[in-house]
Structure 1
Amino acid sequence: MTMLIFFGRSMRLSGLALLFLFPFLLRAEILEKGIWAGKDFKAIGAGDVLVAESPLAAVFICKHGTSNYDLLTKFESWTHSPDHTAVPAFAVIVLDNEEQHDVAEEVITQRGFKIPVLTTSEDLLDGSQYRLALISENQLKTFPDFDLAALTQAVGTVAQASSPIMTVSQTPETTSPRKNQARNPLYVNQRYEFSIRWPKGWDYKVARNGDGAVGIPPEGLPLEARVWAAPEIKSDDPSDPPPYVQIKDYLNYLKTQARGEIQVESKLKVFDGDIEGRDYTYSYVRAGKEGQPDMKYRGRIQAFVVDGIAKLVCVEGPEEVFKQNSNEIEKFIYTFHPFIE
């Protein structure tokens, strides 16, 4: 649904904080998964190399050079344009030597790029000066001649093509949802102005109070999903980003169902156009009910705040089921928009 800026896994936050204070400590990192698993990357500024592990993303790869940075400017403008389906987006600068990293970082800083930018000495260009590409299904599809129109069409198709996933447990804001018989996969909430596209094979129920909807999944799929809106919850600390405050409140609610603490596994900053949000992946042990055993659960929640209204989408399920459907869950969340176009 959005351009993502990875803050990194929770276990790496202290190290990331050191990078803000001491950038000279930055070292290349070897990716553990994705199409570039085993390759070295460095992040520029507050970026994180984990963005390159994303299973779905638009990416501009180029050699270090002025004309290519001009194309990068156009690529970033494309990520904020209203006529494309947003997916994670980042750039990779291919360097001739390690010394060019500092020069590239200065250029990126001066030009004010906001998307994540990485550098690498790996050969990702096959002799070309640049590549405009889409990462999807563990493959890299290239669009010749910097064809942003073709990229727009491709990401729109991929973002809407999601496989079966989810179901949802009630939260305090949901009251007696009723089934939507229209079966239109695109759910639009006119009251709070947000939308999401449910996966193929799914139905959904609309809450009577009009705050959102919960998913009705294919039989036998024990995942949970919900999209909703509510008045923004305020923090006593004015420095807290509003989307973070909404997620924190939801995780506090989850503690009523959990054995022990909620473990936050990753924290992302997300953008849909100019609207900034947060995206967290978390896990916890859900307490068993009516003689059922406790079970490890994993979830993902994304939140935006627009004009005092919090807008959220959440997916949860047993840990192994969540892992098996992680790509489909990601595609589903990318269709969430905190506005109506």
Structure 2
Amino acid sequence: MSHDQNFKNLILDYPREAIAFFAASEAAVLDQSVRILPIRQEQLKERLGERFRELDVPLLAEWPDGRRAALLFVLEEETEPRRFSIHRLAHYCLDLAELLNTDRIVPVVIFLHAGTFATELRLGGEAQTYLNFQYLACPLFQTPASEYYESPNLVARLNLPNMAYAPADKVDVYAHAVRGLLTLEPDLERQIKYLDFIDIYAHLDENEQVIYQQRYAHEADTMSGFAERFIQQGVQQGVQQGVQQGIQQGVQQGEARLLRRLLASRFGKLPEETLRAIEVADPDTLLQWSDRVLTARTLEDVLH
């Protein structure tokens, strides 16, 4: 699993919300007039192309009226703290500062898993310190999830499963994350995209999925309806794809993916034989099964 890529997508899709959550102490100066622009890594490869830097995300905040100099946020996700190198981060920031001719840089490191990590780098001799480098650390594993249950910041809500909570609260954490996604993100495609993000990091088992459906029946029904609407969009997308790559294949792939999502939302983890049946079914059969999902009582009622 590429946690780096997951977080790169998250930061690029929601740059303002990412800065507000991961770098709250610096975000206060960013009013709505400020433009936040990602710096494409392709432009930096000659100077910063080492493999370990490819998924770092620099975001440039610019004041259009020129009141302040541009401010560069450098966000890095680090899954395992023991692999984090403060020397590497300092070197990266110095390279960016030279390349962009700026000294206004805010380095931010997001830690997913528990562990220890250096927070300060001092270089000097006997008389004095000549380099003192620090960064904003965001240890999600130490952040209380309950404090963000009702947050209006979508990035915070999506990361609830990555925060600290008691095992007994896992279903509630998942529910608040999903509720945040459905209420704060109006775009249907992004809802599907980041429902996968929540699922990956919450990783509910079958029993927890049942508890969720019982405890949060309204939200579970909403997700089912939401998935049903996406089926129709998926069919349309499949048809458009089929114009270029073959209508039959495009529709089948779109319907199969959406049916798997809908069935999993309604009935929990799908058996291997069900996944195989969906994989080989023709588009008409997949559409027929999709029509049965919301009224069927069991998985067998859908497929037979």
- Structure 2-normalised TM-score? 0.26
Largest Rg, 1 or 2: 2
Structure ranking higher in strand proportion: 1
Structure ranking higher in helix proportion: 2
- Structure 1-normalised TM-score? 0.24
Larger relative contact order (C-alpha < 8 A, sep ≥ 6)? 1
